[in-house]
Amino acid sequence: MGERLDDQIADVDGLRRRVAELRATIDRGNYEYYILDNPTLSDAEWDAAMRELRAIEEAHPVLVTPDSPTQRVGATPLGAFATVTHPLPMLSLGNVFDEAGLREWAARVYKITGRDAVECVVEPKIDGLAVALTYEEGRLTVGATRGDGFTGEDVTQNLRTIRAIPLRLREPGDGLPPVPPRLEVRGEVFLPRSGFAAINEKQAEAGKPLYANPRNAAAGSLRQLDPGITAARPLRFFAYQVGSIERALTPRAHWDALRWLKALGFPLSPDSALCATLDEVWERCRWWQERRDALDFEIDGAVVKVNQTGLQEELGQVAREPRWAIAYKFPAVQGVTRLDHIEINVGRTGALNPLAFLDPVQIGGVTVGRATLHNEDQIRRLDLKLGDWVVVERRGDVIPQIVKVLAERRDGSEREYHFPTSCPTCGSTVERVAGEAMSYCTNASCPAQLKERLAHFAGRGAMDIEGLGAERVAQFVDAGLLGDVADLYLLHERRDALLALERMAEKNTDNLLRAIEASKGRPLARLIFGLGIRHVGERNAGLLAGRFASLEELCRASLEDLVAIPGFGAIVAQSVYDFCQEGRNQALIAKLAAVGVRPEGGRPPAPTDGPLAGKSFVLTGRLDSLTRGEATARLQALGATVAATVTKKTDYVVVGEDAGSKAERAAALKRPTLDEPALLALLAEAEGGGTPGAASPDEEPVPAS
């Protein structure tokens, strides 16, 4: 009996040691990814450690602790949020809008402190939600929103789901102060632009309203009563300040505090700078302004903070703003103008897309005369009337959108807008499916839909028919030459009719006919994408082509077959199934086969001995001569792996136009980069049977320009 008890104790001790090892591995992975920006643990290794830890804790609940990584998700939904009183008020910042305003602020600082120069730290002003995190004995106990600055909401369960927020602090080492008994850390929760785009894509696929901007989406995500919903959103966190702490442990400078926070395990906003002079401060503010649109997160300014803690205390605060910090707000990306009228564009799926026509207004150096309104619900949410004065927002390459109506400027001349009940192009009935945000023209033969479908089918991501753009498609439809996409492959029989059209000389007509014929050889994934099935983008088209050998086989699939495809959602599966069951679509597929468009699918085995075997590539930015899907397919055909994340193990990062944070990460990790000409040269050499001259991942033989 005693021996069995000893064995049981030994087993538990062994499990405790294993649990500690797994937690350390997971914490190390999070720290390297979010803090050091230099992961050495692969996603597969991290997932395996988490699965094993979860299995052990489920089998032995006594081993579960509140700071275990498994406890980030799984709390029961709340009925409401409790309130939290901040030990120190979370003050708002004063704003300046130009260099003169910044110098006026600095002059006040110099006057109060009796100095003619003061060190300052400049950080990006993240457009997110300020939160306060309280740690006791190094463990996260409370997380609260800023609220009114004095009292916030207790959103601890939701904040625990954000992997970038440490549940347990690390011992700093390197001569830095140890973990204090109690520490409050303040920072910003935000949604990266890439995550925001992914969320809105899912909203669109589900027929739900789109979020207006990343900040609103982040706020909505953090204030979910069900933490499981928050956990599904790719929220991030940057720490920016030490809040309440024992006075004896207060860092003597803000720059030291940031270094300490990083050592404790908190992610910080990148590229903060310590500036000795006001000229350096202004230069850094302008530097952030120039980089604004290239970042993967929203910033609306730069924050300038006096570095020395003693000077901060001497400067104090006025009203609810600290004198020792100021926000330089970037020039507006918003403008105020008047709505003239609304037009409806009919898309390839029949969706009615409202477009606002505005009195032209300058926003960020660009004249804006139109803005998207998304759908009927957005018009209703804004309470938008024709003739209203509105606030229009433009950020980077994002299509301008109306974000607010200035109802106080109404004078009675405004008119109600009524969403159409019939298609503005063909007059057919408009239908809105219950639970979806979009309204649709019910006529599959609607000329507007047909033109959009044909242009999509001929586009680069689909059948890539050179010379067949939107204008030419419209010309052919208006001439009665095209009734569906299969008719493209019958145009060779109507060559004389083509030659009779404007701008259709013999040479470009024959070039077009050859391009149409060549498109018959495109892969099945491209054809599926080109058919314009609702909710089926390039990724989902690739999944279908990897599962089915032909369009005919796809159309014989049951709904259960489609749902079972890994990575395929139920909404997308239903959309594909409905498309395949529609008689007109079945006739179209048969017609495509009859005219010779019968590509084969099925997932080809990944080559293991190609000239690029063993090499890992990451693509970022826009390529001019081929789509990202085409580049991926060609690299994979040569044996390369195409990943989504840049790590130290990445061999090459392909940098196109308007590249985002992956290019910055490649530079930080000193990974070789290739511009588009260099990529094309490498592909040509590898496809020609040669050995590419880029063998060493530590060299950069063909640098990006």
Sequential DSSP letters for 609-636: SSTTTT-EEEEESB-SSS-HHHHHHHHH
Average pLDDT of every residue of the chain: 85
pLDDT score for 697? 33
pLDDT score for 698? 33
| DSSP string for residues in 460-526 | TTTT--TT--HHHHHHHHHTT--SSGGGGGGGGGGHHHHHTSTT--HHHHHHHHHHHHHGGGS-HHH
| pLDDT tens digit sequence for 671-689 | 898 988 889 889 988 877 6
pLDDT score for 71? 74
Number of residues in the chain? 705
Say if pTM beats, i.e. exceeds, 0.75. no
Distance from CA of residue 143 to its chain's centroid? 25
| DSSP class of 35 | I
Query: What separation in angstroms does the CA of 19 have from each of 33, 45, 68, 288, 447?
Result: 21, 15, 9, 43, 63
| Inter-residue contact 338 to 410 (CB < 8 Å) | no
SS3 72: helix
pLDDT score for 321? 86
pLDDT score for 5? 40
**Weakly modelled stretches of the chain, pLDDT under 50:** 1-6, 8-9, 74, 397, 691, 693-705
pLDDT score for 374? 86
Q: Which of 111, 125, 451, 670 is catalytic?
A: 125
308's tokens: 């020395």
Query: Helix/strand/coil (H, E, C) string of 661-703?
Result: HHHHHHHHCCCCEECHHHHHHHHHHHHCCCCCCCCCCCCCCCC
Burial degree of 8 (CB within 10 A; 0-12, 13-18, 19+): exposed
Indicate if 111 belongs to the active site: no
pLDDT score for 694? 42
587's tokens: 């006739």
Query: Rounded CA gap, 39 and 52, in Å?
Result: 20
pLDDT score for 568? 75
Buried b (16+ CB within 10 A) or exposed e, 276-314: eebeebbebbeebeeebbebebbbbbbbbbbbbbebbee
Q: Which residues contact 108 (CB under 8 A, 6 or more apart)?
A: 323
pLDDT score for 704? 39
C-beta pairs of 420-428 under 8 Å, 24+ apart in sequence: 420/344, 420/352, 423/346, 423/352, 423/448, 424/343, 424/344, 424/346, 424/352, 425/346, 425/449
Strand partners, 95: 327
| DSSP class of 33 | I
Report the DSSP pairing between strands 641-643 and 652-655: unpaired
Q: CA triplet 87, 91, 93: central angle to 5 degrees?
A: 160
pLDDT score for 209? 66
